[in-house]
Amino acid sequence: MRAASVKSFARLITTMYEPTVKPPRLRKGGTIRIIAPSSAATSTSSLPKAVRFLERQGFKVSLAPSMIRESPTRYLTAGDATRKNEIENAFKSDKYDAVMVLQGGAGSIDILNSIDYDIIKDHPKVFVGYSDITLLQLAFMRMAHMASFQGPMLIDLFEEDEAALQTNWNNLIGIISRGEEAMIKNPLESGWAKSINDGTTKGQLMGGNLTVFSLIVGTKYIPDARGKVLFFEDVNVEPWMLDNLLTSLVIKGVLKKANGIVFGQLPNYGIENISESQGVASYLMKHLFVEDYINATMHSTLQDLFANKMPKKPAFIEFACCHGKYITTIPMGIRVKMDASECTMEMLEPGVE
């Protein structure tokens, strides 16, 4: 083997197994920088309410300029250079203690090639988001080895259900501020998660939105799945789409490498459109029959996949997070003990310093 090849291989191994960089905990009185690396908000009328919520919790809020304008040529908040610079500035500047995103959508993939990941690694901060933000969190985990958090975004702080909002916030703040080694499980109000394959396992938690996760498999921006506990969530995914996405990960060997797999609730907000395409007219048929049919088909798709391809791998579904009313915080890059029988994940270490 040539010397250059040996050096490249050694660098790859060192990078793969470098210890996780944990951000400092977010303390009361700290400043949360809000950035918008993905889609633009369709309306800004609710932003003041979300900002006031954060201020009532004892934090200062700083809004990045791109939040209040939209790219003239696309659906994004701003051009690639602006969004990339706002990410780097949010981490590099001593004025900000944590970074939260406005919302997901699309567009983060455009800037993966241009981010200076040394800035992220040298200035770790609590980083909160999900959906399209999965791409940034996976890249930060792989390129900067930084832990981050799939949890409520600014848009989720508009939530009208005060009880759900406070449940989501208390869960997030316990992990990012108090440094709790939390037992991660569904809130009682959100319903029960369901086991696919019973069993327990341990591993570093990794994953996020299934669709965008699948987009970067095989690139340098995603960590190796070996020994990980994978977590997948998505929204408006029909059963055939779920089947295709997961089968592609089976073919690529991703799921085989993982120690265990957790699935979110996979809500479908397009049920009414689907039911109309099926000629279903009545309210009850739309909101009960079609929803039950889709959920049952999702579950049977997963049961079949695991029974045929991964019969002994611990897995459960219906974990409450991300695209839904209840958003349980997922600490990306942190080691957990997964119990698929009880449908829980116990943090084995704090997510912050």
**Cα(131)–Cα(103) distance, integer angstroms:** 8
Structure tokens at 114: 């241009």
**Domains of the chain: residue spans and CATH:** 14-176 (3.40.50.10740), 183-347 (3.50.30.60)
Per-residue pLDDT for the chain (353 aa), expressed as one digit of tens each? 555 555 555 545 555 557 899 999 999 999 999 999 988 776 666 788 999 999 999 999 999 987 766 666 666 667 889 999 999 999 999 999 999 999 898 889 999 999 999 999 999 999 999 999 999 999 999 999 999 999 999 999 987 889 999 999 999 999 999 999 999 999 988 889 999 999 999 999 999 999 999 999 999 999 999 999 999 999 988 888 999 999 999 999 999 999 999 999 888 765 545 545 555 444 554 555 556 666 778 888 898 999 999 999 999 999 999 988 999 999 999 999 999 999 999 999 999 99
Q: If you write DSSP's letter for every residue of 178-207 in order, what string do you get?
A: S----EE---GGG---EEEE--EEEEEEEE
Sign of the Cα pseudo-torsion (277, 283, 285, 289, in order): positive
Of 115, 110, 293, 303, whose CA–CA distance to 195 is shortest?
Answer: 303
User: In 3D, which of 304, 290, 23, 244 has the Cα closest to residue 144?
Assistant: 23
Nearest to 294 by CA among 240, 231, 245, 247: 240
Distances (CA, A) of 96 to 24, 26, 30: 12, 10, 7
Q: How many CA atoms lie within 13 A of 235 on its CB side?
A: 13
Distance CA 72, CA 199 (A): 51
* 332 secondary structure, DSSP code: E
Give the model confidence (pLDDT) of 70-103 as tens digits.
666 666 667 889 999 999 999 999 999 999 999 8
Per-residue pLDDT tens digits for 295-323: 778 888 898 999 999 999 999 999 999 98
DSSP SS3 for 318: strand
The helix/strand/coil state of 306 is helix
β-bridge pairing 260-264 and 194-197 = unpaired
